[in-house]
């Protein structure tokens, strides 16, 4: 009995952000689209990533403002708040929403079996093009004793905790470690962060220093350049560092990296190459080594951001369906949602003689002063001709201000252009505007500019005097 499905235009494997956006894009273009998801649509972002973590951060911020600690925090209420946020957003990512958009959704695991063919639940699906969007999963570092510790969680499983950890040790110093560590500390946990190097190693050092100070003011013990040698599991797990320190924990959070979900997909049967980390190798159009197979999201070597997964999947799907070769933008914004937030895009440090920077401390930003939140800054990196190449914003709602900076970098705008745009006042975004104004004005300090300004002013003065004499003589 032939259990194959009539050939489809696009087969999408994975129902997270990349899969959903890719499938909806293809269906909107008139393609017959099938999406296969083995668990639940919505992916990590909805169920274990962006939505629950940002809700937890919000709860931690509320607790901090109300000076709640320990028994003052109702963790059941926090968990209910998280589940409520997920429930409010989930319908937009549901199979029903996908079906309404023209996508056929199949629950099951898919694997390629031959060029142009995949098998799902014992049924063969023939496809013209395919999009791999299976995402990634957290990994545990190879630390002796870690797998035997009674309660080890990752960013994926921490949401299963039924009670607030009394003592939490976080292994890692990246955004996830800092965000979850700070949120739980504000809710009342005793938190230790063991960072292999410095915290937020990708970010501007001044920005990381502000986050470090904020973490410590929230009671987090941060140990940088820490090496975790082993974990002993007696009456309680104890984390041993290379310099002889010992930290007891009720819960250990491993936040040290993720790995692409590419096992058992049968990629070798369709000629799809992966790198040493198991990520699907793609070109700038998101096409794999097989011209009929595309990939987007965490399964690729690109940075693991939800917003990137969506834009890349849209590009991949339209390329696959329409036969285009549109390339993805290399401008990638990122935000760490600690308090203060750290938002960055493009270049964040001066790397050449032709580069300069312009920095506005938020102590000189009126909105920050009125909000009494002046611990932050806006710094832009500028290239030849005043072109904005990137920058860092640290402070409340930095991610929102980053949108304008991202557009400026993507479109190659200059500080003069940004300075010439009227901005609303007072906002935290005034700092970005003023950083552009400061750099644009600095151009007037060069000898050539001063000569030109004096010449123009002199010419205008002569014209005004001539007009005045003409009027007086009439």
Residue 53: per-residue pLDDT: 97
Specify whether 280 is located in the same domain as 425: no
At 22, which CATH number? Answer: 3.50.50.60
pLDDT higher than 70, residue 258: yes
Residue range 70-92: average pLDDT?
A: 90
Residue ending a domain, among 256, 287, 313, is 256
Residue 372 lies in a domain: yes
Residue 72: per-residue pLDDT: 58
Specify whether 120 is located in the same domain as 33: yes
3-state secondary structure the chain: CCCCEEEEEEEEECCCHHHHHHHHHHHHCCCCEEEEECCCCCHHHHHCCHHHHHHHHHHHHHHHHCCCCHHHCCHHHHHHHHHHHHHHHHHHHCHHHHHHCCEEEEECCEEEEECCEEEECCEEEEEEEEEECCCEEECCCCCCCCCCCCCEECCCCHHHCCCCCCEEEEECCCHHHHHHHHHHHHHCCEEEEECCCCCCCCCCHHHHHHHHHHHHHCCCEEECCCCEEEEEECCCEEEEECCCCEEECCEEEECCCEEECCCCCCHHHHCCCECCCCCECCCCCCECCCCCEEECCCCCCCCCCHHHHHHHHHHHHHHHHHCCCCCCCCCCCEEECCCCEEEEEECCCCCCCCCEEEEEEHHHCHHHHHHCCCCCEEEEEECHHHEEEEEEEEECCHHHHHHHHHHHHHCCCEHHHHHCCCCCCCCCCHHHHHHHHHHHHHHHHCHHHHHHHHHHHHHHHHHHHHHHHHHHHC
Residue 70 lies in a domain: no
For the stretch 205-238, pLDDT in tens is 999 999 999 999 999 999 999 999 999 998 899 9
Q: Which domain holds residue 174?
A: 152-256
Residue 68: per-residue pLDDT: 53
Specify whether 300 is located in the same domain as 347: no
Residue 377: per-residue pLDDT: 98
pLDDT higher than 50, residue 1: no
pLDDT higher than 80, residue 67: no
Residue 461 lies in a domain: no
Residue 27: per-residue pLDDT: 98
Residue 364 lies in a domain: yes
Residue 191 lies in a domain: yes
For the stretch 429-469, pLDDT in tens is 999 999 999 999 987 777 777 777 788 888 888 888 888 88
Specify whether 353 is located in the same domain as 381: yes
For the stretch 105-131, pLDDT in tens is 999 999 999 999 999 999 999 999 999
Residue 61 lies in a domain: no
**How many structural domains compose the chain?**
3
For the stretch 287-303, pLDDT in tens is 999 999 999 999 999 99
Specify whether 186 is located in the same domain as 105: no
Specify whether 208 is located in the same domain as 267: no
Q: Going by C-beta distance under 8 Å and a sequence separation of 6 or more, which residues neighbour residue 81?
A: 55, 58, 59
If phi > 0 it is left, if psi is from -120 to 50 it is alpha, else beta; for residue 71 that is alpha
Specify whether 242 is located in the same domain as 318: no
Q: Going by C-beta distance under 8 Å and a sequence separation of 6 or more, which residues neighbour residue 114?
A: 269, 270
pTM metric for this prediction:
0.92
At 360, which CATH number? Answer: 3.30.390.30
Specify whether 11 is located in the same domain as 103: yes
Specify whether 284 is located in the same domain as 431: no
Specify whether 242 is located in the same domain as 282: no
Specify whether 123 is located in the same domain as 211: no
CA distance linking residue 200 with residue 202, whole number of Å: 6
Residue ending a domain, among 217, 238, 256, is 256
If phi > 0 it is left, if psi is from -120 to 50 it is alpha, else beta; for residue 28 that is alpha
Residue 73: per-residue pLDDT: 75
358, 377, 357: which is closest to 428 by C-alpha?
377
For the stretch 2-50, pLDDT in tens is 556 679 999 999 999 999 999 999 999 999 999 999 999 999 999 999 9
Residue 333 lies in a domain: no
pLDDT higher than 90, residue 65: no
CA distance linking residue 392 with residue 395, whole number of Å: 10
Specify whether 368 is located in the same domain as 244: no
């Amino acid at each position: 009995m032939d259990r194959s499905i009539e050939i489809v235009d696009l087969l999408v494997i994975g129902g997270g952000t990349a899969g959903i956006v890719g499938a909806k894009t293809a269906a909107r273009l008139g393609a017959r689209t099938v999406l296969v998801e083995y668990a639940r649509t919505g992916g990590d972002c909805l169920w274990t990533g962006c939505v629950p973590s940002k809700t937890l951060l919000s709860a931690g911020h509320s607790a901090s403002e109300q000076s709640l600690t320990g028994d003052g925090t109702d963790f059941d209420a926090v968990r209910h708040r998280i589940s409520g946020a997920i429930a409010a957003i989930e319908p937009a990512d549901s199979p029903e929403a996908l079906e309404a958009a023209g996508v056929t959704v199949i629950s099951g695991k898919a694997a390629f079996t031959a060029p142009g063919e995949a098998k799902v639940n014992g049924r063969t699906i023939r496809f013209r093009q395919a999009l791999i969007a299976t995402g990634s999963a957290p990994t545990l570092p190879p630390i002796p004793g870690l797998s035997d510790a009674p309660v080890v969680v990752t960013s994926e499983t921490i949401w299963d905790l039924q009670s607030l950890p009394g003592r939490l040790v976080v292994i890692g110093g990246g955004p996830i470690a800092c965000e979850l560590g700070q949120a739980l500390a504000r809710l009342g946990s005793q938190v230790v962060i063991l960072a292999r190097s410095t915290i937020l190693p990708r970010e501007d050092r001044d920005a990381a220093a502000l986050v470090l100070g904020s973490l410590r003011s929230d009671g987090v013990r941060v140990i940088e350049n820490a090496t975790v040698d082993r974990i002993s599991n007696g009456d309680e797990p104890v984390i041993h560092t290379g310099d002889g320190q010992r930290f007891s924990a009720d819960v250990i959070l491993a936040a040290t990296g993720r790995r692409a979900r590419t096992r058992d997909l049968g990629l070798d049967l369709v000629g799809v190459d992966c790198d040493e980390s198991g990520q699907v190798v793609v070109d700038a159009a998101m096409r794999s080594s097989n011209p009929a197979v595309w990939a987007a999201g965490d399964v690729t070597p690109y940075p693991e951001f939800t917003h990137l997964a969506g834009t890349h999947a849209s590009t991949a799907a339209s390329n696959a369906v329409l036969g285009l070769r549109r390339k993805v933008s290399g401008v990638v914004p990122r935000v760490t949602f600690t308090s203060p937030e750290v938002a960055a895009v493009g270049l964040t440090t001066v790397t050449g003689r032709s580069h300069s920077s312009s920095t506005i401390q938020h102590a000189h930003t009126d909105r920050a002063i009125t909000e009494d939140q002046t611990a932050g800054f806006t710094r832009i990196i500028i290239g030849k001709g005043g072109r904005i190449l990137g920058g860092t914003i640290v402070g409340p709602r930095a991610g929102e201000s980053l949108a304008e900076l991202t557009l400026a970098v993507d479109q190659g705008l200059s500080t003069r252009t940004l300075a010439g745009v009227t901005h609303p006042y007072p906002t935290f975004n005034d700092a970005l505007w003023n950083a552009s104004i400061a750099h644009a004005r600095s151009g007037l300090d060069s000898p050539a500019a001063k000569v030109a300004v004096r010449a123009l002013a002199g010419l205008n003065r002569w014209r005004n005097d001539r007009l005045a004499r003409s009027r007086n003589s009439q």
